[in-house]
Amino acid sequence: MNIIKLILFKLGLLIILLSLTTNSYAILEVKKKPYDDAEIEKIYKLDNGKFIYIEQFVRGHIIWEYNPETDKFKEISKVWTFIDLASKCEMVEGHNIYFANILEYWFAGGTIIDYPEIRIFNLYEPNPWRNTDLGISPDMSYAKEYCDFYKPYFIKE
């Protein structure tokens, strides 16, 4: 009888511990959107309390800022492929920087789509392009060695 009580007690503790350790973004629903049909892929919470929403749209990603104090969205910029958001990186100026690909065109037409460069931009850069980047990275494994990345608050499954 005592063994059964002990087993049930341990099982109960295990269930409680597992429920406490689940990631918050795994159960989060996106209730606020820039507009009704927005396809939100990721949400990050910045250190200042504002949220960054990454929306998938026909031609890439739109980066939005949501300010919970004013309950308003502000479009920051558009990129071809948003990769990740870092609070800071060694050897890169500024805070709140992101990694993205931009769609670059050859002078006579066509694009580089097979292996586009991973460029680094200031989060609030309204026109991400080759002349506004803060640097480039060979890959994200390299970037993870030198940067502190935000953990997404929400990831679309």
pLDDT of residue 63: 98
Give the C-alpha separation, 101 to 23, whole Å.
Answer: 28
Give the C-alpha separation, 85 to 13, whole Å.
Answer: 36
Q: Which two tokens stand for residue 83?
A: 């990769």
pLDDT of residue 18: 47
Q: Collect all residues with Cβ–Cβ distance below 8 Å to 46 and sequence separation of at least 6.
A: 52, 96, 150
Question: What are the residue ranges of helices labelled H in the chain?
Answer: 2-20, 24-27, 140-146
**Side-by-side strand order, sheet with 118-122:** 135-137, 118-122, 97-101, 81-89, 147-149
3-state class (DSSP) for residue 17? helix
For the chain, the domains span 28-155
pLDDT mean by block of 10 residues, the chain; 157 residues: 66 53 47 92 96 96 97 97 97 96 82 85 96 96 97 92
Q: Point out which residues pair with 43 in neighbouring strands.
A: 53, 154
pLDDT of residue 22: 42
pLDDT of residue 111: 78
Q: Are strands 72-79 and 60-67 parallel, antiparallel or unpaired?
A: antiparallel
Give the C-alpha separation, 101 to 78, whole Å.
Answer: 10
At residue 55, what is the residue type? Answer: E
pLDDT of residue 34: 95
